[in-house]
Chain A
Amino acid sequence: KAGVTQTPRYLIKTRGQQVTLSCSPISGHRSVSWYQQTPGQGLQFLFEYFSETQRNKGNFPGRFSGRQFSNSRSEMNVSTLELGDSALYLCASSLGGSTGELFFGEGSRLTVL
């Protein structure tokens, strides 16, 4: 069974640009959640999608958005990039129950110059 796949793995952008990151969950998983990982703030929840609907949202500005497609694949978008957006963006998939394991992808490392 293939794991969670994230693309691209690395990318460099400049301030003011926008970026789209993609996540393909494990087959059969309907929930996809996104986390931002930075050395200073640790792992912070961005949002979660289940069956194409945003079910949970973290405390990030509106520049951060996402969506989920009918095949459960998800994308997140960050507009008007700031230097502080440099981070590892991790996607995780799960079956979507109230408790249960999150399966993380290897992440997309974004550097904003």
Chain B
Amino acid sequence: GENVEQHPSTLSVQEGDSAVIKCTYSDSASNYFPWYKQELGKRPQLIIDIRSNVGEKKDQRIAVTLNKTAKHFSLHITETQPEDSAVYFCAEAGKIQGAQKLVFGQGTRLTINP
């Protein structure tokens, strides 16, 4: 069935260091992999996404990599800043169901220490 494992559940890094969050999925038909950021008390917001025909995508300090053979994808944040502190969720969607039916990971609480 559909399942996304996300690790670690909590992550604490020093300001300026990099942070990496990893997710694995089980559905080989999955073709869309977004990452959402949820600040405390706020709504989840899309920060970056990748489609199955691409191996890597970068947007300023944020990058996502996808390994379809191993069925895992990762979020990389470089030069972390205090405002990066939040809960990050990976997700996947299949071609048939579309992006509206996302299967989310359990979330990673990222804390940036000044």
Q: Which residues of A contact B (CB under 8 A)?
A: 31, 33, 35, 42-45, 48, 50, 55-56, 58, 90, 92, 94, 96-102, 104-107
Knowing A42-B107, A43-B89, the reply to whether A56 touches B43 (Cβ < 8 A) is no
Q: Which residues of A contact B95 (CB under 8 A)?
A: 98
| Cβ of B68 under 8 Å from chain A | no
Q: Which residue of the partner chain A has the closest CB to B52?
A: A99
Q: Give CA–CA (A58, B106) in the complex, Å.
A: 17
Residue from B102, B103, B106 within 8 A of A102 (CB atoms): B102
Is there an interface contact between A107 and B32, defined as CB atoms closer than 8 Å?
no
Q: How far is the CB of A55 from chain B (nearest CB, A)?
A: 7
**B75 CB to nearest chain A CB (Å):** 16
Question: Taking the nearest CB of chain B, how far is it from the CB of A49, in angstroms?
Answer: 9
